[in-house]
Structure formats: structure tokens, C-alpha cells
Amino acid sequence: MAYAEQYIDKLRKSGLRPTKQRIKICEVLFDTDKTFHFTIKELVKIIENQANIKVSLATVYNTVHAFIKKGYLKEIPLNASQSYYDTNVTHHHHFFDEEENRLIDIHQDDVDEVNIKKTIPGKKIKSIEVIAKIVSDNQSQK
């Protein structure tokens, strides 16, 4: 628990009480060298497997969304009913492998500037994040 104080601080800054379950959520999300993508259900399974504790879907959902509001995590909505979450909060883009249901990071420099001509009255573009959906190239399997 070398990072326990850091996690307690992060939880409190997000408006959350630092419970044992929430500290375990922090350990899984932030005690890693590599960033990763996840769904809420996947994160529950990871926490239960790694920490050997039960954690409710609601606790994970509320913690993740509090972290999004503070900028500690990023939400990547794929459609109206499916979102992934990212521990990499820098500006970048994604491939979404539809066959493996997996997000893959694309560095910002690997995508040319996107030019959107349409405007919405009273609105401005906050950011542009590209999600390129990919599938297997059957030609390479011949």
C-alpha cells in the first residue's frame, strides 16, 4: 500500500469517501506502468480477481464517473449503450477492434488534423477524438 495516501487524496478530491473498496479500485486503475482501457463490468472482474474482494457494480460505476469529472480518467463512448474508459487522459485517438471488442491507442501525431465544416449555433468544438473501427483484413489470411 505504498500509494495509499495518494489514492486517499485522489478519492477525497473527487468527493468520495476512501473506503477499502475504493482504494482497491485506485490500485487497479493507477498502480500500473501501462495505461489501459476497460468497461465497468471488466473493471469489477479485474478488481475481484486481483484484490480478492467483492465490489459492487454501483461502487465501481460511481467511482469511475467521479474520476472522469476530476480528469483522472477519460470516457470513450462507442455508441449510445456502450462506453469504454481510459486511464490515459492525454489527447489521443483510438482504433476499436470490433471482433475483439478492444480499443487500441493511436498517438495524436498519427492522425492528420480533422476539418469540420458544419457548425452548431451556440456551440463550439471542445475537442476532436477519432475512433476508427477496424475488422480483420481477410486478404492477409489467404
CATH number at residue 28: 1.10.10.10
Q: Are strands 131-134 and 93-97 parallel, antiparallel or unpaired?
A: parallel
Q: Is the pLDDT of residue 140 over 70?
A: no
- Alpha carbon distance 114, 33 (integer Å): 31
**What are the tens digits of pLDDT across the range 89-111?**
999 999 999 999 999 999 999 99
18 and 78 in a common domain: yes
95 and 71 in a common domain: no
Amino acid identity at 17: R
Q: Is the pLDDT of residue 141 over 70?
A: no
Into how many domains does the chain fold? Answer: 2
Asked whether 78 and 84 are in contact (CB, 8 A), the reply is yes
Which residues are paired to 133 by β-bridges? Answer: 96
What's the grid cell of residue 25?
Answer: 479500485
Query: CB-side exposure of 76: number of CA atoms within 13 Å?
Result: 27
Band the pLDDT of 1: cuts 50, 70, 90: very low
Note down the domain range covering 75.
Answer: 4-84
- Alpha carbon distance 31, 104 (integer Å): 20
24 and 73 in a common domain: yes
Tell me, what's the pLDDT at 23? Answer: 94
Question: What is the widest separation between alpha-carbon atoms in the chain?
Answer: 56
Which residues are paired to 132 by β-bridges? Answer: 95
125 and 56 in a common domain: no
